[in-house]
Amino acid sequence: MVEQQYIDLFSQCEAMICANSAEVLNAKRAEAFANFERLGFPTQKLEDYKYTDVSEAFAPDYGLNLNRLEIPVNPYEVFKCDVPNMSTSLYFVVNDAFYTKEQPKVELPEGVLMGSLKEMAKKYPELVSKYYGKLADTSGDGITAFNTSFVQDGVFLYIPKGVVVERTIQLVNILRADVDFMVNRRVLVVMEEGSQAKLLVCDHAQDQVNFLTTQVIEVFAGENAVLDMYELEETHIANTRISNCYVRQDAGSNVLLNGMTLHNGMTRNRTHVLLAGEHAEITLCGMAIEDKNQHVDNHTFIDHAVSNCTSNELYKYVLDDEARGAFAGKVLVRKDAQKTFSQQTNRNLCITREARMFTQPQLEIYADDVKCGHGATVGQLDESALFYMQARGISQREARLLLMFAFVNEVVDYIRIDILKERLHLLIEKRFRGELSKCAGCNGCK
C-alpha cells in the first residue's frame, strides 16, 4: 500500500513536523491525518481523478526536509527574472520554505502582508487562523488531507480593505535538491473588501532530479475585491505537480485565474470556486503545451450558489508526440442562482496520432432563468490553412508554428499585465520551436 510509508513517517515524525511549523497549522494536522488514513491517495477509480492516477506518483522513496535544514541557495543571486520593463515585488519559496534571508527592496502599501505562512501565523495567529483551512476541506480529498498533514510553511498574502497594490507581486517557487525530493507547499491569499492585487507565480526546477510537489491554495475575495493570479510552470520532465486551489468570492468580487504549463512532467491542477455573493465574477483560463510523454490534467468546479453571477472558462491544449491531456469542468447552478451567466470552452490540438486528449465539460442546472453554455473540440491543424499559407511562400514548419501560436493566443490575451503578455508571446513561440523557454537572465530556466 503506497500510503503506509507516509502513515508510518507521520506517526514517527509528528513531533518534528509540529516543532518546525506554527500552532495555527498544527491545529489542523491531526484531523487531516485521520482523513488521509481514511481516504488514501486518489486513484482512477474516483470520478474526479479518472484521467490521472496520482497515487502512483507517491510510490517512489522521496526525501523530505521535515527538520527544515537550510538549503544552500540565494535565489536573489541565482534567479534574476528580467522581463523588460516589468517591475514586480519579487519573493521566493525554496522547495516549501519561504525565503526570509533577503526581502525585496520595494515596499508594499501600508497594511499589506506578504511573507512566510509559518511566521505570519506566529505573528498574527488570529488573522491567519480565521482563514487557514476554512476552504481546503480535508474530509473529501486525499491530496488536500495529505498536504495539510505534512505542510510546515508556505506563503501568506493579505491585502487590507480598500488597498490597491499597483505593482505586481511575483512569487518564484524554486525546486532545489540533490536527491529525489518531495515538497508540500501552502498558499493563503486574503483580499479584504474593495482591495486589488495581481499575483504572478512561477515554478522552476534547478536540479534534474525527480521532484514531487503537493500544493494547496486558498483564496478569499471579499466584496468588490479584484484579484488576478497567474501561474506559469516551467520545470522539467521529471517533475510532478499536484495542486488544489480553493476560491471563495463575495458579492461584486472579480477573480481571474490563468494557469499556463510550458514545461512539466506530470501536472494535475484542481480548481474549486464558490460564488457566494451576487454579481461575483470568475474567469478561469488554462493553457498547456506538451510533447514527449508529458501529462497535464485540469479539473475545475464552479459553484453558482447565488443569483446574478458570471463564470467564464477557457482551456486550450496543444499535444505533440505521445503527450496526454485531460480537462474535466463542471458548473453547478443551484436552485436559487437565477440570472446566472456561464460559458465553458475547451479546445484542443493533437499534432500527432499518438497524442491523446480527454475532455469532459459538464453543466448541472437547477435554476430556470440562466444563460449557460459549454463546448469542447479535439482536432488537428487545419490542412486547408496550411496549404493556403504554403501557397504564399511560408514553409510548412513556419505555417504549423503560426497556426499553433494563434490557437493558444486567446488564453494569453486574458492576461491583464501588458508586459507579461508580450513576454509570454515570446516564450510560447520559443517553446513551439523546440527551444528551452526562459526569462532573460533567469538561470533556473536555461
The C-alpha atoms of residue 444 and residue 437 are separated, in whole angstroms, by: 10
Give me the pLDDT at residue 87, please.
80
Burial of residue 322 (CB within 10 Å: 0-12, 13-18, 19+) is middle
List, for residues 12-28, the tens digit of each pLDDT value.
999 999 999 999 999 99
Stated pTM of the model:
0.94
Return the axis-axis angle of helices 142-150 and 29-39, rounded to nearest 10°.
140
Output the nine-digit C-alpha cell for 29: 494536522
The C-alpha atoms of residue 302 and residue 314 are separated, in whole angstroms, by: 13
The C-alpha atoms of residue 428 and residue 408 are separated, in whole angstroms, by: 9
Give me the pLDDT at residue 381, please.
81
Q: Is 36:3 a contact under the CB 8 Å cutoff?
A: yes
Give me the pLDDT at residue 79, please.
67
SS (H, E, C) the chain: CHHHHHHHHHHHHHHHHHHCCCHHHHCCHHHHHHHHHHHCCCCCCCHHHCCCCHHHHHCCCCECCCCCCCCCCCHHHHECCCCCCCCEEEEEEECCEECCCCCCCCCCCCCCEEEEHHHHHHHCHHHHHHHCCCCCCCCCCHHHHHHHHHCCCEEEEEECCCCECCCEEEEEEEECCCCCEEEEEEEEEEECCCCEEEEEEEEEECCCCCEEEEEEEEEEECCCCEEEEEEEEECCCCEEEEEEEEEEECCCCEEEEEEEEEECCEEEEEEEEEECCCCCEEEEEEEEEECCCCEEEEEEEEEECCCCCEEEEEEEEEECCCCEEEEEEEEEECCCCCCEEEEEEEEEEECCCCCEEEEEEEEEECCCCEEEEEEEEEECCCHHHHHHHHCCCCCHHHHHHHHHHHHHHHHHCCCCCHHHHHHHHHHHHHHHCCCCCCCCCEHHHC
Give me the pLDDT at residue 80, please.
59
The C-alpha atoms of residue 65 and residue 89 are separated, in whole angstroms, by: 27
Give me the pLDDT at residue 380, please.
85
Give residue for cell 520551436. Answer: 433
Share of the chain above pLDDT 90, in %: 79
Give me the pLDDT at residue 159, please.
98
Provide block-wise average pLDDT over 10 residues at a time, the chain (446 residues). Answer: 95 97 97 97 92 94 93 73 67 93 80 96 98 96 98 98 96 93 98 98 92 98 98 94 98 97 96 98 96 96 98 96 96 96 96 95 95 92 79 82 88 91 88 65 43
Q: Is 198:88 a contact under the CB 8 Å cutoff?
A: no
Give me the pLDDT at residue 265, please.
95
- Residue 214 has phi, psi (to 5 degrees) of -105, 140
Kindly give, in sequence order, each residue whose CB lies less than 8 Å from that of residue 388, ignoring residues fewer than 6 positions away.
Answer: none
Kindly give, in sequence order, each residue whose CB lies less than 8 Å from that of residue 185, ignoring residues fewer than 6 positions away.
Answer: 93, 95, 96, 147, 151, 153, 154, 155, 173, 213, 214, 215, 216
228 conformational bin, left if phi > 0, alpha if psi -120 to 50, beta if neither: beta
Q: Is the C-alpha dihedral spanning 31, 33, 37, 41 positive or negative?
A: positive
